[in-house]
Amino acid sequence: MKELLISELMPEKVNLLDSLCLLEQEIFNQQPRLTEQVNQLADTLISQLSNIEDPLEQAETILDVLFVQKLMADTPKSFYGVANHRLDYGLDFIDMAPTLKIIIMLHVIRTTGLDVDAVFIPDEMMVRITCDDTYAVIFDCVKGEPIDWQDLDQRLNQITLNDSQSPLQGVEDNKLISQYLTSLKNALIREQHFNQALICVDILLAMTPDDPYQRRDRGFLLQQMDCFKVAFDDYRYFVERCPKDPAAKMLQMQLDLFTETEVVLH
């Protein structure tokens, strides 16, 4: 894994568009060609806000530009394909996986100078534009709809102590990139592009070396490539770290079978 790539992805704040380009080059061996279109979108936002001073009106104008003028509102899907995670396809067809869309929106809104970040609202990631100490606009990046305070309160009441993400706490850029890579990896696995999925896993493990779920997925991908002896260690690591996970029992059976086979062969 190229150390330079990882060093570019790890800071809490990065240039998100540059990071996407680096990842597409690494995973698909191809640079996106429509980065200038993203820059033009950012310029449009800056121009539209130039004569607006009220922060709340600025936030409302951003939603109008992105989701009405630029037609970026969409209907949520159960699954998003590999193409939906790639910048060129997403911009050409205005059809993006949520993890890609939220990154693009954060990038272009940041160029306006507004205080914007991603926040976890059970059960999804949303974009928050903080207007002042009193007001913030939080919206779903897929449908382009702001969440009302009643819905927000109901969702926050669903939170348990076991939730891994804190609600309303800004999500660091490196965490967003990890979520994008995880979503892309899952799409690559569904479409059986195992070599490229393995690149995603290797990047994720370089960012979070002790993640048992990424180790499990790497084991699965290595098994598809007939490298079960190498996958064995990843599966065993996952089973030891997550014994109560539903997948652990099945993987333990595979490990036991492999061990028995090794004994017979010797």
Query: What is the structure's pLDDT at 160?
Result: 67
C-alpha distance from residue 113 to each of 39, 45, 107, 120, 181 (Å): 15, 11, 11, 22, 27
pLDDT at 84 over 90: yes
Q: In terms of domains, do 121 and 243 share one?
A: no
Q: Which residues contact 211 (CB under 8 A, 6 or more apart)?
A: 204, 205
Q: In terms of domains, do 152 and 215 share one?
A: no
Q: In terms of domains, do 8 and 109 share one?
A: yes
Given 145, 171, 197, which residue is the final one in a domain? 171
Q: In terms of domains, do 154 and 42 share one?
A: yes
Mean pLDDT of the 136-161 span = 88
pLDDT at 266 over 80: no
Given 171, 194, 221, which residue is the final one in a domain? 171
CA distance 114 to 225: 47
C-alpha distance from residue 195 to each of 139, 192, 222 (Å): 35, 9, 9
Q: In terms of domains, do 260 and 155 share one?
A: no
Q: In terms of domains, do 116 and 245 share one?
A: no
Identify the bridge partners of residue 115 per DSSP, sorted by sequence position.
130
Mean pLDDT of the 83-88 span = 98
Q: In terms of domains, do 33 and 164 share one?
A: yes
Identify the bridge partners of residue 139 per DSSP, sorted by sequence position.
127, 146
Q: Does the residue 220 lie in any domain?
A: yes
Q: In terms of domains, do 32 and 110 share one?
A: yes
Reduce the DSSP state of residue 139 to 3 states and report it. Answer: strand
Q: In terms of domains, do 110 and 219 share one?
A: no
Q: In terms of domains, do 157 and 54 share one?
A: yes
Q: Does the residue 127 lie in any domain?
A: yes
Q: Does the residue 188 lie in any domain?
A: no
Reduce the DSSP state of residue 193 to 3 states and report it. Answer: coil
Q: Does the residue 179 lie in any domain?
A: no
Q: Does the residue 240 lie in any domain?
A: yes
Given 147, 171, 195, which residue is the final one in a domain? 171
Q: Does the residue 244 lie in any domain?
A: yes
Domain hosting 247: range is 210-265
Q: Could you tell me which residue, 230 or 127, shows the higher pLDDT? A: 127
Q: Does the residue 219 lie in any domain?
A: yes
CATH for 79: 3.10.620
Q: In terms of domains, do 27 and 159 share one?
A: yes
pLDDT at 261 over 60: no
* pLDDT confidence band for 264 (50 / 70 / 90): very low
CA distance 81 to 191: 8
Q: Does the residue 78 lie in any domain?
A: yes
Query: What is the structure's pLDDT at 166?
Result: 67
User: Residue 87 phi/psi, 5° resolution?
Assistant: -60, -45
Q: In terms of domains, do 215 and 114 share one?
A: no
pLDDT over 90, % of the chain: 77
Does this model's pTM top 0.75?
yes
For the chain, the domain total comes to 2
Q: Across the chain, what does the average pLDDT equal?
A: 92
